Amino acid sequence: MKRTVIALSLALAAALSTPCDNAKDKVLPDGTKVFGERTLPDGTVKAERKEFPDGRKHFDVTVLPDGTRKIGRVEYPDGQKNFDVTVLPDGSTKVEHKEFPDGRKLFDVAVLPDGTTKIGRGEFANGQKNFDATILPNGSESTVRIEYPNGQVQIDVTVLPDGTRKIGRVEYPDGQKNFDVTLSPNGTEIVGRTTKPDGTATAQQPAVGARPSASAQAPRTAQKETNQEGAPALTKDARASGPGPFGFRRGMTREQIIKLVGKAAIDSSQTQDDILAVRKAPVPDPAFEEYWLIISPTEGVLKVTGVGITVKTDPFGTELRAAYMNAVGAVTRKYGDTKGIADGCIAHPKNSTEAHFGCLYPDSYLLDLNNGAPVARVWMESLKARGPRSDRVVYVRVKPYVGELKYFDPPIRASVFRKTGLSIAGASGYLLVEYAFDGFDEYLVSSGQVPNPATLPATVPYGAIQ
């Protein structure tokens, strides 16, 4: 009898301590696997783990009676992880933080029922930090503050669906501040107002557009193309030059060049003051469509710029990178190697999840170029070390530019980015290959005007070659 009472007591205690349903594993009709699922007396359903056919895994899943779902951790096939996820009955989702394979981390993420996404803070592998970002369903984005590793800070940043970027204020490490900045998808930049470190201010400044004009290449000394009579004779030193880039010699006069290529070759839209733009060259290169020449009134030709043909390229910049490396190879074969190398994300592999320094996405090469990254190869110190040359070239720069970016349509932009990491569908670009002869630096100083002096350190000669 005593044994019977004890057995009944133990059975009752076990019954009271056990939920209505024991934890169990099951496979749903769609192939989802559920492990350790159990239902509590109040109707709450808990599961230790769920594995979905698409490769996702959910850990520590709780479904409350009101329909609220809480997930301790979500793992995706590509390596992304979400932590402390809450899905509310109204369809909104909150995530405490997200970690991506490329090193990005997002904190305090909320997705509203209308598709709006809010992000409290974003941290990137290169050190960039974004604060209080909002992404609307139409693809536009706004960010209260962006901090870059180089010390630059951008305030009140808005990116429109067409890719236009508007920035309320840009603060630079040296103290300069730009206000009301607009960056168009074609690369054109407009600055409403600039405050220099010394407190001086300048009014609206449209910056160099997608394809810099020849007039942006050098200062003027009022030598017009039509002013052909009475052109000054060149000095003996200016005439003593071997054949230079594209067949142009250091010291050639405007008259000599026009006689060689013909008046029909002149591009009058780019020709002004000391600049002569022509569509032909004594030794033409099919990779270039135009040649910009800076001609000193007393020294003749002192700089030659080859303007590359427009190159259509894929989102990775493959074709533009190939054109760039072809030009680099040609210059290297003629002038030797250089240590002045800043190729940007040119080595970034297609669709790689490995983030190179500053190259977080497959299309980082084009995006960085479009944002003004200082990508180029420069021959200067190496030429100086090798001594004078017969063509008297003392500086060469090969620089790629983006002409136009083609963004994915807003309805699919976010989806494509999540799957591929791509923001753009393609682009067009071109190269500028610039050659400066000896005497060009002195010409810049004597003219008293040096365009864009802040774009290169003051210690670098030929800083106006932009």
Q: Please tell me whether residues 151 and 49 are part of one structural domain.
A: yes
**Longest Cα separation, the chain:** 133
CATH number at residue 101: 2.60.450
Distance CA 243, CA 250 (A): 8
Structural domain including 85 reads 16-206
Q: Please tell me whether residues 223 and 182 are part of one structural domain.
A: no
pLDDT in tens, 222-270: 333 333 333 344 444 444 456 789 999 999 999 999 998 999 999 988 8
Coil, strand or helix at 107: strand
Q: Please tell me whether residues 236 and 348 are part of one structural domain.
A: yes
Q: Please tell me whether residues 74 and 94 are part of one structural domain.
A: yes
Q: How many domains would you assign to the chain? A: 2
Residues 6+ apart with CB under 8 A from 238: 250, 251, 298, 299, 300, 439
Q: Please tell me whether residues 315 and 428 are part of one structural domain.
A: yes
Q: Please tell me whether residues 170 and 244 are part of one structural domain.
A: no
Select from 190, 206, 222 the last residue of a domain.
Answer: 206
Q: Please tell me whether residues 244 and 200 are part of one structural domain.
A: no
Residue 9 domain flag: no
pLDDT in tens, 62-76: 999 999 999 999 999
Residue 28 domain flag: yes
Rounded average pLDDT over 116-136: 90
Distance CA 58, CA 45 (A): 14
Confidence at residue 213, expressed as pLDDT on a 0 to 100 scale: 61
Residue 8 domain flag: no
Q: Please tell me whether residues 57 and 195 are part of one structural domain.
A: yes
Select from 206, 238, 272 the last residue of a domain.
Answer: 206
Residue 3 domain flag: no
Residue 10 domain flag: no
In terms of Cβ atoms closer than 10 Å to its own Cβ (0-12, 13-18, 19+), residue 142 is: middle
Place of tokens 């019977």: 4
Select from 206, 228, 244 the last residue of a domain.
Answer: 206
Distance CA 219, CA 174 (A): 26
Rounded average pLDDT over 85-95: 92
Residue 11 domain flag: no
Question: b/e string for 7-30 if b means 16 or more Cβ within 10 A?
Answer: eeeeeeeeeeeeeeeeeeeeeeee
pLDDT in tens, 402-416: 998 898 888 888 888
**20 pLDDT higher than 60:** no
**57 pLDDT higher than 90:** yes
Q: How confident is the model at residue 215 (pLDDT cuts 50, 70, 90)?
A: low
**361 pLDDT higher than 60:** yes
Confidence at residue 451, expressed as pLDDT on a 0 to 100 scale: 44
Q: Please tell me whether residues 215 and 188 are part of one structural domain.
A: no
Question: b/e string for 335-359 if b means 16 or more Cβ within 10 A?
Answer: beebebeeebbbebeeeeeebbebb
Q: Please tell me whether residues 390 and 274 are part of one structural domain.
A: yes
pLDDT in tens, 172-190: 888 888 888 887 765 667 8
Residue 7 domain flag: no
Q: Please tell me whether residues 279 and 343 are part of one structural domain.
A: yes
pLDDT in tens, 272-294: 888 999 999 999 899 999 999 99
Q: Please tell me whether residues 246 and 112 are part of one structural domain.
A: no
Confidence at residue 12, expressed as pLDDT on a 0 to 100 scale: 41
Q: How confident is the model at residue 390 (pLDDT cuts 50, 70, 90)?
A: confident
